[in-house]
Amino acid sequence: MPGTPFRRYRAHKTWPGRAAVARSVARVGVRRYLRRIMSDEKLPILLVPDPRLRLKARPVAEGDGDAVRALAPRMLATMYAAPGIGLAAPQIGSDLRLIVLDCGGKDTPEPMVLVNPEIIAASKELGVREEGCLSLPGLYADVQRPQRIKLRWRELDGTRKEMEADGLLGVCMQHEIDHLNGVLFVDHLSALKRNMMLRKLAKELKLKARDADGE
Ligand SMILES: [Zn+2]
């Protein structure tokens, strides 16, 4: 995967801020902007109970630069196609601590690529929001998490960044960082609720597989 050339991908060495993305979008339009930052190639998303979703991802090291720059545009393409607002590398079978997300609107994309993201502070106040996950298709549940977090990560060029986030973005960041530690949103629910949901999903996936076999 490392070193694969990307025709359209112009790697953002330092990921542009919201204002810079908005300026680019205004200039070339949403679709053309997104085509520039993502690959043509989508990757298959792992579904539960794939054991790879339960592994702890390893920190991106200096030697992983090519792999990360090759993976990020593919992960963005996979996330937008799903469609989803966040994707973590373990969901596509990579063991790197890398996430992509976009909690902007349809006409105001805010793509982000976060290398080695870590939560360095979390508010005592908790908030509840409904979550879903591309690795658990069709399942949704209210999850309680810290209302506000402070996040630290590295850009594609290694620059260190920090920001505070709350609302949808804060939840999305926490959900994706959970994936890097092998944690799924259903792990925040009671065992009873979690097992019920996972059984339901397993049954649905089995039916789907049988239908696909029958075709
Ligand atoms: Zn997820």
User: Per-residue DSSP letters for 114-171?
Assistant: EEEEEEEEE-SSEEEEEEEETTEEEEEEEEEEESEEEEEEE-TTS-EEEEEEEHHHHH
Query: Ligand 1 centroid vs 137 CA: distance in angstroms?
Result: 10
186 alpha carbon to ligand 1 midpoint, in Å?
Answer: 10
Higher pLDDT, 115 or 3: 115
Q: Which residues pair with 136 in a beta bridge?
A: 133
Q: What are phi and psi of 62, to 5 degrees?
A: -60, -40
Pick the more confident residue, 38 or 179. Answer: 179
Whole-angstrom Cα distance, residue 45 to residue 175?
Answer: 16
Give CA–CA dist 204/32, Å, rounded.
Answer: 37
pLDDT at 78: 96
CA proximity to 15, closest of 99, 89, 79, 78: 99
Averaged confidence pLDDT in the chain: 89
Q: How far apart are the first and last CA of the chain?
A: 33
* pLDDT reading at 7 higher than 80: no
pLDDT at 155: 84
Rounded to whole angstroms, the Cα distance separating 78 from 88 reads 11
Tens digits of residue pLDDT in 71-84: 999 999 999 999 99
Q: Which residues contact 88 (CB under 8 A, 6 or more apart)?
A: 57, 98, 99, 176, 177, 179, 180
pLDDT at residue 8 tops 70:
no
Instruction: Between 135 and 17, name the one with better pLDDT.
Output: 135
Q: What are the catalytic residues?
A: 176
- 15 has a pLDDT exceeding 70: no
pTM over 0.85: yes
Distance, CA 28 to ligand 1 centroid (Å)? 31
Distance 134 CA to ligand 1 centre (A): 6
pLDDT at 1: 33
